[in-house]
């Protein structure tokens, strides 16, 4: 269903194909994939609508694309491509477009909404029609702003710049025409409908569910449907667990529930006890609250998550502020009542990048083992395992007060704000 309308002024497919390429191809092979389009009657001279281009778009895309604006990248635009590391807003989550496209192409049915700018310059949802990957052109443009934001674009990708009246068509400028000192437009406030996830949705598939009554209910449904548990597991293509193992992996449980014709969305809300893949320890699932995000902010700024293998996580938070230590303890115990939390004085010196650190105040370390907190932290992008990089963009999908709580934890734990006189206008 893909169709690309190319004009002498606008390249197609990331600049990989221009109008002369199309014309040469048509001259060599008049019945080939490149065909001339008669413009016909002009519908809109500003945005670049013609009856001929619209009619061909309908035919070439089999009705998927009904209009093409040759002079607009806001309304029914020409193709503008991004490199795989660029973040896009999909279903109220910031994801790398490369990861999204790779996942999208593996699925037969996907209903997703993307956030983009509408013709009023405001964020609005837009239904996704399709995705595709193209070879990158020989030249890419790397943009870095004073605030530290970076973006890599194809040369013909247009960017909103404060050049009103200078280029004849508003603020839009090709990436390869940007100059040092240009002021780029960006969304000042992402007004998104924040969603609070279930802790169950943030766990690994190999975590295990330990709710005895719930699992017995599901086993009874399996026996009623298939006659016996052994036949049920065989029919589902699953290995029957040892009778001495009471728990079921999250991945297998979801498959069983769906094959039984039951609602996984309803069933997962009934799960209360989980354990790591090795089955120990079993812990109560916490509610995802703003206090929990504050706790993660404290850990991110002045704490650590030390993983021992895949299943055990050591949590530490070190600070000199007695009130902050008490707040950490209260939140921790309210969300993880079955996880012990110790406290010890920190009297030893240490080194950071070879520099000797000697505390001038009484410092205390809160510590405990908590695989569940470690997994939740990772799911929100607070990663302290191996070579993984932090990905705090995952917090964007949360309500704003949750994001604010995380930032409060960062600042309260070990943060600061600097106001530099005469450096910013």
- pLDDT value of residue 101: 84
Q: What is the mean pLDDT of the chain?
A: 86
Burial class (CB in 10 A: 0-12, 13-18, 19+), 261: exposed
Taking each continuous run of H as one helix and of E as one strand, the counts in the chain are 11, 20
129 pLDDT band, cuts 50/70/90, is low
- pLDDT value of residue 109: 62
Instruction: Read off the pLDDT of residues 189-208 as tens digits, 9 standing for 90 and up.
Output: 777 888 899 999 999 999 99
pLDDT at 66 over 90: no
Contact (CB, 8 A) for 251 and 206:
yes
Mean pLDDT of 344-357: 80
Residue 240 half-sphere exposure, CB side, CA atoms within 13 Å? 12
- Tokens 């016996």 identify what position? 228
What are the structural domain ranges in the chain? 1-79, 87-177, 199-283, 287-414
Give how far Cα 15 sits from Cα of 32, 71, 149, 368, Å.
Answer: 20, 16, 24, 55
65 pLDDT band, cuts 50/70/90, is confident
Q: Which CATH number fits domain 1-79: 3.30.70.3450, 3.40.970.20, 3.30.1330.10, 1.20.58.390?
A: 3.40.970.20
Comparing CA positions, the residue from 207, 419, 185 lying closest to residue 310 is 207
- pLDDT value of residue 281: 93
* CA 242/CA 119 separation, integer angstroms: 60
- pLDDT value of residue 332: 98
* CA 297/CA 6 separation, integer angstroms: 49
Q: What stretch of H or E contains 89? A: strand 87-90
Strand partners, 62: none
Kindly report the pTM of this predicted structure.
0.74
Contact (CB, 8 A) for 93 and 33:
no
Mean pLDDT of 36-45: 90
- pLDDT value of residue 34: 87
DSSP 32: S
| Secondary structure E strands in 162-214 | 172-174, 208-209
Q: Does domain 287-414 have CATH number 3.30.420.40?
A: no
For the domain made up of 87-177, give the CATH fold: Endonuclease - Pi-scei; Chain A, domain 1 (2.170.16)
244 pLDDT band, cuts 50/70/90, is confident
Instruction: Read off the pLDDT of residues 294-311 as tens digits, 9 standing for 90 and up.
Output: 999 999 999 999 998 888
Comparing CA positions, the residue from 90, 89, 10 lying closest to residue 48 is 10
- Tokens 């990957």 identify what position? 133
54-68, 155-169, 318-332: the lowest-pLDDT one: 155-169
CB proximity list for 365: less than 8 A, separation 6 or greater: 316, 317, 318, 343, 344, 345, 346
Looking at per-residue confidence, does 256 or 346 come out higher?
A: 256
Highest-confidence range of 77-81, 218-222, 344-348, by mean pLDDT? 218-222
């Amino acid at each position: 269903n893909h169709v690309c309308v190319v004009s002498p002024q606008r390249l197609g497919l990331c600049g990989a194909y221009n109008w002369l390429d199309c014309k040469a191809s048509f001259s060599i092979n008049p019945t080939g994939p490149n065909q001339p389009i008669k413009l016909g009657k002009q519908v809109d001279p500003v945005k670049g609508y013609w009856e001929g281009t619209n009619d061909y778009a309908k035919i070439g895309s089999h009705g998927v694309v009904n209009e093409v604006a040759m002079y607009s990248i806001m309304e029914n635009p020409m193709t503008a491509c991004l490199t795989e590391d660029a973040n896009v807003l999909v279903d109220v989550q910031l994801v790398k477009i490369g990861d999204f496209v790779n996942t999208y192409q593996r699925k037969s049915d996907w209903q997703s909404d993307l956030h983009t700018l509408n013709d009023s310059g405001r964020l609005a949802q837009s239904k996704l029609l399709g995705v595709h990957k193209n070879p990158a052109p020989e030249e890419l443009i790397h943009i870095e702003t004073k605030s530290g934001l970076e973006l890599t674009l194809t040369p013909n990708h247009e960017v909103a710049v404060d050049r009103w009246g200078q280029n004849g068509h508003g603020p839009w400028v090709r990436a390869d025409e940007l100059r040092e000192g240009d002021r780029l437009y960006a969304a000042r406030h992402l007004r998104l409908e924040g969603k609070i996830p279930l802790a169950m949705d943030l766990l690994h598939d190999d975590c295990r569910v330990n709710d005895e009554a719930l699992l017995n209910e599901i086993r009874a449904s399996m026996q009623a449907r298939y006659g016996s548990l052994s036949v049920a597991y065989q029919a589902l293509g699953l290995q029957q667990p040892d009778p001495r193992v009471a728990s079921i992996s999250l991945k297998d449980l979801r498959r069983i529930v769906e094959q039984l014709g039951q609602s996984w969305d309803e069933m997962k809300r009934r799960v209360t006890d989980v354990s790591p893949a090795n089955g120990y320890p079993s812990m109560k699932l916490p509610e995802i609250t703003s206090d929990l995000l504050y706790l993660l902010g404290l850990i991110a700024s002045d704490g650590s998550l030390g993983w021992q293998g895949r299943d055990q996580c050591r949590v530490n938070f070190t600070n000199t502020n007695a009130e902050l230590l008490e707040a950490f303890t209260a939140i921790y115990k309210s969300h993880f009542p079955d996880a012990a939390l110790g406290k010890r004085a920190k009297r030893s010196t240490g080194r950071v990048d070879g520099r000797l650190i000697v505390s001038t105040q009484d410092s205390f370390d809160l510590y405990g083992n908590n695989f569940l907190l470690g997994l939740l932290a990772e799911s929100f992008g607070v990663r302290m395992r191996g070579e993984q990089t932090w990905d705090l963009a995952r917090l964007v999908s949360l309500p704003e007060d949750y994001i604010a709580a995380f930032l409060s934890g960062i600042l309260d734990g070990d943060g600061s704000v600097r106001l530099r006189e005469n450096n910013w206008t």
